[in-house]
Chain A
């Protein structure tokens, strides 16, 4: 565990991360699209998050070595962007939009409903590791408020009833 007085404890993940041949090939292809290695950092981090589920300190070190950057530089970039996960995510990450258009069209009630039905506060995850609840800023789909992003997918025009059905469906898949 990495500890810092102002931050929650973050698991380290595996200390040594290696890229398999498939991932390595994808990174090589990505590098060809940019005039320098540093520009490939965001797409490489996306590939790693897809592969490992999150960006552990070990992944940051491996990415740094691959692109010729320092691990500190990579960490600086990773922590700037909200979508790079620096801890292992739950199976489904529920991101409820909290910004104005959603908030005034049922988004607030939706978030409250989810904390009640899942029995967790915003920022927490269910004990079975299935759902994690987050409130996020504008998702750019204000015309179909309220909106929830679950992993990569948008769920629009949501209501407590509709989201219950969505969660039941996702729960069944597991």
Chain B
């Protein structure tokens, strides 16, 4: 199936970062339209579109907005989550690179809907170039009166502040992100209260992903019904899939929600590279339980992935061919989570560290009988609500799925293992600071 891009329509057009090009393509029309509407009408339209959050959780956006207490007097905040740190995810960068004004317009619409007059963009620290692109777009829009005091002659004012992170995966989690804007370590908060009630600086706050916000101008321009007609029931709209790993043509592809992974991988990304065979794939970033080659016909939407025992997450499809050693892949990911655990909760901090130790000794040929049971037990106790934020699940569920689906590979290594004094030795050497704990 060939589909005309909606979110990525500017990709490939020259000078697409400029306001001139954006205006020529009908940019900020939705914003002008929104300024004639009531915030409630905007929220109703987005609710009707059935847009679900593109950051990973897939929560209905309109419903999220509606959690803001109606009668709350003081300020509220909109936060655009551009932390993009989930391994296998690189779509927000693509949107900012090719269409920064689409993101800015989306931020403006969401801020208006929740009656916020300040919005923050939290962008990961490594994205220096993309933070600059956004800052330039915001300044340009402000100069032309699309932002700032009394937007386009209306009574509504909006300032957008770009806030750079400084290297921490956990700050993609919305409460850790809020802490980080407040000038603290990125420690996730206990919920409730949810950010919509008490978030940034204790005020009602909505955190939306870049891609979620980029859908808004299109919903306003073309209507909620049009948006809801794309994709599948309860899984509506276009979605950016980030395909990485062993495909012929890796990259970001835009398709309606609900296309099968087979189509994404084989039709749009040219299939597996070098004539190899598909072994397994992560459907939604490395925190989503792995799917095996016989699950290619699972549909790439929130509900179908959940039914298949995984999740669509951020849409990061990591494709692994038959050259990949699953034990090594598991050790690689365990290392990521052990490094990125903020250290607040014991099951996550200690569990991820233990998972690395066990997986690395199996990899090094020193696995012990009972190691797989121990690993599964660690994963059980780190997931399912045992931690303040979902990082416990994020490391435990994919590792548990790899051990379960590819048990033979782990067992063979353990059967052939030689005893050795236990010793920490990373698979890949890692250097540099950690988040104060563990690796």
Contacts and interface: CB of A to CB of B under 8 A. Distances in A.
Interface of A: 33-36, 38-43, 45-46, 67, 76-77, 79-84, 86, 95, 98-101, 103-105, 108, 111, 121-123, 133-145, 149, 152-154
A144 B186 contact: no
Interface residues of B, number: 63
B244 A142 contact: yes
B425 interface: no
Contacts of B164: 42-43, 46
A30 to B, nearest CB: 10
B168 to A, nearest CB: 5
Interface in B50-99: 75, 84-90, 93
Contacts of A136: 432
A81 B166 contact: yes
Given A82-B432, A143-B250, A138 B336 contact: yes
B245 A105 contact: yes
Contacts of B320: 104
Given A79-B433, A98-B430, A133-B431, 16 more contacts: A36-B182, A42-B166, A67-B183, A76-B436, A81-B125, A81-B435, A83-B125, A84-B167, A100-B318, A100-B329, A122-B430, A123-B432, A135-B428, A138-B88, A142-B89, A145-B244
Contact of A38 (B124, B183, B335): B183
B324 A104 contact: yes
A99 B336 contact: yes
B166 A143 contact: no
Interface in B230-279: 242-246, 250-252
Interface in B343-400: none
B88 A77 contact: no
A122 B127 contact: no
Contact of B168 (A39, A82, A133): A82
A101 B435 CA distance: 23
A45 B339 contact: no
A121 B429 contact: yes
Given A41-B183, A103-B332, A121-B429, A140 B244 contact: no
A143 B125 contact: no
Given A82-B434, A98-B332, A39 B250 contact: no
A99 B339 CA distance: 11
Contacts of B127: 140
B128 interface: yes
Contacts of A140: 84-85, 89-90, 93, 124, 126-127
Interface string B403-417: 000000000000000
Given A99-B336, A122-B430, A144-B250, A80 B318 contact: no
A135 B186 contact: no
B169 interface: yes
Nearest to A82: B167
Given A39-B201, A138-B336, A122 B431 contact: yes
A142 B184 contact: no
15 contacts: A41-B183, A77-B185, A80-B435, A81-B166, A82-B432, A83-B126, A84-B166, A99-B336, A100-B333, A104-B320, A134-B431, A134-B432, A135-B432, A142-B244, A145-B250
Residue picked from A121, A122, A141, most chain B C-beta under 10 Å = A141
A39 B133 CA distance: 23
B275 to A, nearest CB: 16
Contact of B183 (A39, A79, A95, A100): A39
Contacts of A80: 168, 185-186, 342, 435-436
Contacts of A42: 163-166, 180-181, 183
A101 B168 contact: no
Nearest to A102: B244
B428 A81 contact: no
